[in-house]
A and B are shown apart, each in its own frame.
Chain A
């Protein structure tokens, strides 16, 4: 140790790369020694940049960066508190030579470690007893940074060298990296040269390396880089920012809390100034906390400053360090909360301590970084600046194309307008067209702030990506393996907590593709052209599909009430991934009992696929006609039409079920059945009809044609028999023979029935069949998806459409009965045919929420004139529903309406009750009247005072919640009609709109709500919290499906804040008469854990809950 401190050839200054203490004392150290040359620990490739870095005009932070072709990054950020920068500036002022004397960064170095001969375990143990067994960073903070204010300059230099020595000893025990040994060999060589010229040399180097640079080196042995493998390094000097300098930003070589370090540097280690800084930071912190609507004031700041100082004293430090400050703040302000307040505090700390300072280069600094790199790559990858013809790339076969593809994806990610992708028509190749404009250049300049090279800038761009799945696929496309790993790690943590089923299934699919090396950016073996190599990628071992699968099964539970087909499709995907665990079956069984009709159908189908007995899909057909039947069938078919086709016994059951219907029941069910099968594409329905093998019965063929077919069959079979490898399964999978096809009861044949159900051309003697086909085609047209554009299929009926919606409606009523008419017309309105609903007479319809939903779904798309026509219908349905609902709700809210009697002497005498209670004291009085001698006086409580409850309805209008929105509006209106309540109605998607003014008029309210957009719950809750005056007398009802687009932590923080302030929140996954909900299970559970109960309620149950809360 002594030799380190006393050495003057060279004068050793051991530093850490960011250290305010060293940066402050650097001038003193150098002054005391007076060197005429300074050696800096930096690769010599950066030598040319040093004058620009030390330039007086340069404002820190700035960074030196170098990249080689394989995209390895060498990165050296500098701030005012970097000792190297302090040394550079000192030398620049005095005109003293500075040399970067590290090993060339371009040298390849192996990652191994080498154990040195004669390790000094004894010495290490001795030091560890003296200093405590700490890691380098905490030892450095304790011995150097915290001790600095009270230490002499020389003592500080020795302390820094000592910490480096201890670290060296620790590493020597487990082996020193070869890379370090090689670097030190190179440093010694350059140092020897300088000393040989007779110069007085000071060395500024990581204190770890110091003992290897002594004239007689310790804990070091010579080690030369193996030859070859020189790389070309492109260097750049770029402006930098505190946000990126903070080590949590993910950028390399940073330090925590730059503002803290900067403050310590600016204080020049003088204790009064540190004290001043500390107070300022604490005050600023409280300010940020208050901005987040958390109480924090002078007493908190005062207490945390006191605590920081006393902790420092207890630990024997001259002034509090960062650790003491942070611990004090946590104790005094976090209140033991991880969410809510804890989260707000973390945010405030980030704002206060990370800061936003940005660096600036001196005028005249040579251009470097992203822009020249991209321009060079354009040339080297031979990509045109403009293309007249689109260019087809084949990334999976051509290495050059793979590199091009990755390059283009990266530019896309940075938002640089240059290349655009077109539909290529196949999945393997891709077609691009190019257009380089001035805006491309401008965007490129801007992107340069995110990183000094293309890949670095992409990493920067990806860091802000909140959508994990998108981020994952983007980083995979861009070939950024490290980012893929990061996103995967986040995905594995966050998705099980909060993702929806479709996200989880999507994530699993993407994982599969990555694992199989199917993405051009992430090949299994390194490839690509030398200009831009694409490195190989291996899925890390800790990525565990099982975790995501388990989360997906859990997410399924929230979908029981879903009415969206996409959820059924996600379930189908899940079935293909999951083998049918206990929990999956449990969830499906629940769903088949309690779910919405759609999900019941899907669950029943899934269960019968899993071989559970008792779930027979074909039985649905015999169920009562109507929307439910259609939905149930839809769910079942969407999950498993392929299986129905494949299994003859199921097919047979379905045929039998349809055949067993009499004609009239069939007609009543036809619309629903067709609606159910509509889930399949036109071509799929045609195929389905084919597998049912009904054709043979009804399509008579000429005998010679039959003979020809039979001969062709036989020839085919013989040809197959010659091929030994083929084994043709003939049993069971053959089309059913005619004798197996059941005969339909009634007049309509089975073939006709299925053709009507499946929307296939029908040619029948029965005129009713033709009319029915035509009437239904009016709604469904030619179907959708595969086959809908072909001329072959398309519709069961023939002939033109109807003259108007009214005629069509009449025809429907005539054919199928009037309930079916409303169902079909409503469905037409959903599909955008407004005229269908306008044709309905407001007074003749049966009021239902479905109808109202359908009518309201049109509102955004109608002209003012049509809206005027629709309004009477909506008004009437709404009026009926409100009247009915308020009759049902009133009993639940009874007792809240009137003032309660009390015996406590109060403001108003309850004359009537007092009279009644004291009738027994009545006696005849003078003048023929009666006199009362009351014993018990009864008073009225003042109802306004005791019942001024505030109810805030926060309603999600982002998408699939129509029924709940309607019920919310009606319930709000009913509650607002009671004297005791003050009701607010907030509609939110990504924005919050306050409809409180409209709350008593649900018609106006519903006509104004615009459904659609994303979901951000947290801001809505924050707004609601702002409305509360007496939180303990406030109910906050959040109606949402909890598919939140924002970060989960923020949502939980808001929920916690609401609970902490004493309000009574309730989450409603659904507010509707069936009480079936579709919501994101994982998020909802997290919300429950944060203190907001979540339930799916009917309005009546809600009213009871409100009553209970108010009475308790």
Chain B
């Protein structure tokens, strides 16, 4: 596991988990390895070093509201699944991994949802060779991660639940309410042991996702995970990721700043000064910003004629914004009429230059 690019949290934070387990005095729900209070501590960190057989300060792993984490933990102790929803890149998956690692000691019982996910990925499949030679038998049955979690009384995770087709999703409905899975081929039931529950992550707004049935919705408690609130954190993230893609990434800080500002304004529908901005329909995610930043740096680096990378920004923005809807061009024009013009009028050189470059946006 040491060679892995991204080892699972239960091995990264093994020491912390062991210490918390050792010190834990609180009542644990049946099947849980930690009490709810310790799970919250594991995610959000301890105030000072904890003393046990070793003395360790629990590091904060999830930056977010305490109440949100508390609600997640309480939900998992109950009879409903936990569904984490939110925009892309809001650390939903990380939250679910951490919860599974803390509560069940393993975050690896995972189904990664796609449009190609079948019911057998959520229920069980067969070893067809055995099935044909000996007929249906418990040995021929191949359990899914969900079934394994039911048998062992631990948490199963389902990533991107809404990317699975609705029929497939609905396999979970009776499983969540009855807490057992029928295997008609064997004529028996698999019962979930105490401690079993589901954590699913989903993206309700993205394109190409399936609508969840209301029956399934009723069997989950929903928690909305909000996006990165801090602007400086986002600039740093973009720089880091662009460097990771391209070793000699060089882009003037002020240009990067303008890029991030434009992306954040168009994403949130509100400029940093509080002016309202009309949101385009295309996704203005951090990942898109990284792509634009590194393309601009590349072009400025390899094409001598492009000495002024700022001149490229309007074109790249136009390319990012107008993907599906031609009206998005109008929205970008309105952005130039509004915030760009006003910043230029307030005397910012950079924005003045961008205003001069507006001809790049016209048809």
Contact = CB atoms under 8 A, between A and B. Distances in A.
Interface of A: 295, 299-300, 303, 306-307, 310-311, 314-315, 323, 327-328, 331-332, 334-337, 496, 542, 544, 546-547, 550, 553-554, 557, 581-584, 586-587, 1059-1062
A866 B276 CA distance: 55
18 contacts: A299-B218, A314-B73, A327-B71, A328-B71, A328-B74, A331-B75, A334-B222, A335-B222, A336-B83, A336-B222, A336-B224, A496-B276, A542-B274, A547-B276, A581-B333, A581-B336, A583-B337, A584-B337
Contact of B342 (A546, A553, A1062): A546
A319 B80 CA distance: 22
A582 B214 contact: no
Given A314-B73, A315-B70, A327-B71, A1061 B218 contact: no
B102 interface: no
Contact of B222 (A331, A546, A554, A1062): A331
A553 B334 contact: yes
A584 B217 CA distance: 44
B357 to A, nearest CB: 12
Contacts of B213: 1062
Contact of B221 (A314, A332, A584, A1059): A332
Contact of A546 (B67, B79, B220, B338): B338
Nearest to A302: B79
B235 interface: no
B170 interface: no
Nearest to A1088: B281
B204 interface: yes
B12 to A, nearest CB: 25
B262 to A, nearest CB: 16
Contact of B71 (A307, A550, A1060): A307
B291 interface: no
Contacts of B338: 546-547, 550
A300 B218 CA distance: 8
A1060 B213 CA distance: 8
A705 to B, nearest CB: 56
A307 B214 contact: no
Interface string B326-350: 0101100110111001100000000
Contacts of A306: 78
A311 B80 CA distance: 15
A586 B74 contact: no
Given A335-B220, A335-B222, 11 more contacts: A303-B221, A310-B36, A310-B78, A311-B74, A327-B67, A547-B276, A554-B334, A583-B336, A586-B329, A587-B330, A1062-B211
A1061 B275 contact: no
Given A299-B218, A303-B78, A314 B70 contact: yes
Given A547-B275, A582-B358, A582-B362, A311 B221 contact: no
B238 interface: no
Given A303-B78, A331-B71, A583 B221 contact: no
Nearest to A300: B218
B333 A307 contact: no
A327 B69 CA distance: 12
Contacts of A1061: 214
A314 B74 CA distance: 8
A145 B218 CA distance: 32
Nearest to B177: A299
Contacts, number: 104
B166 to A, nearest CB: 9
A544 B270 CA distance: 13
A314 B218 contact: no
Contacts of A315: 70
B37 interface: yes
Contact of B40 (A314, A327, A554): A314
B279 to A, nearest CB: 9
Contacts of B77: 310
B18 interface: no
B160 interface: no
Interface in B209-233: 211, 213-214, 217-218, 220-224
A235 to B, nearest CB: 41
A553 B337 contact: yes
A125 to B, nearest CB: 15
A311 B66 CA distance: 12
A496 B278 CA distance: 9
Contact of A582 (B83, B275, B333, B342): B333
B168 interface: no
Nearest to A582: B333
Interface of B: 36-37, 40, 67, 70-71, 73-75, 77-80, 83, 85, 204, 211, 213-214, 217-218, 220-224, 274-276, 278, 327, 329-330, 333-334, 336-338, 341-342, 358, 361-363
A1059 B70 contact: no
A327 B78 CA distance: 15
B8 to A, nearest CB: 26
Contact of B211 (A295, A553, A1059): A1059
9 nearest CB pairs, A to B: A581-B337, A336-B222, A583-B333, A336-B85, A582-B333, A331-B221, A310-B74, A583-B334, A335-B217
B204 A336 contact: yes
Contacts of A299: 218
Nearest to A542: B274
Contacts of A307: 71, 74-75, 78, 221
B71 A311 contact: yes
Given A310-B78, A582-B362, A544 B275 contact: yes
A68 B338 CA distance: 45
Nearest to B79: A303
A135 to B, nearest CB: 15
Contact of A314 (B36, B333, B337, B358): B36
Contacts of B83: 336
Contacts of A337: 204, 222
A328 B221 CA distance: 9
Nearest to B341: A581
A546 B275 contact: yes
Contacts of B274: 542
B330 A557 contact: yes
A542 B73 CA distance: 42
A553 B220 CA distance: 43
Contacts of B221: 303, 307, 331-332
A13 to B, nearest CB: 31
Contact of B70 (A311, A334, A335, A553): A311
Contacts of A311: 70-71, 74
A303 B40 CA distance: 21
Contact of B214 (A295, A334, A336, A547): A295
Given A307-B78, A553-B337, A586 B330 contact: yes
B359 to A, nearest CB: 10
Nearest to A315: B70
Contacts of A303: 78-80, 221
A1060 B166 CA distance: 13
Contacts of B75: 307, 331
Contacts of A1059: 211
A102 to B, nearest CB: 37
Nearest to B340: A582
Contacts of A496: 276
Contacts of B218: 295, 299-300, 335
A310 B40 CA distance: 14
A332 B223 CA distance: 9
Contacts of B220: 335
Nearest to A336: B222
A1059 B213 CA distance: 11
Contacts of A335: 217-218, 220, 222
A315 B85 CA distance: 24
Nearest to B342: A546
Nearest to A548: B276
Contacts of A314: 36-37, 40, 70, 73-74
Nearest to A334: B222
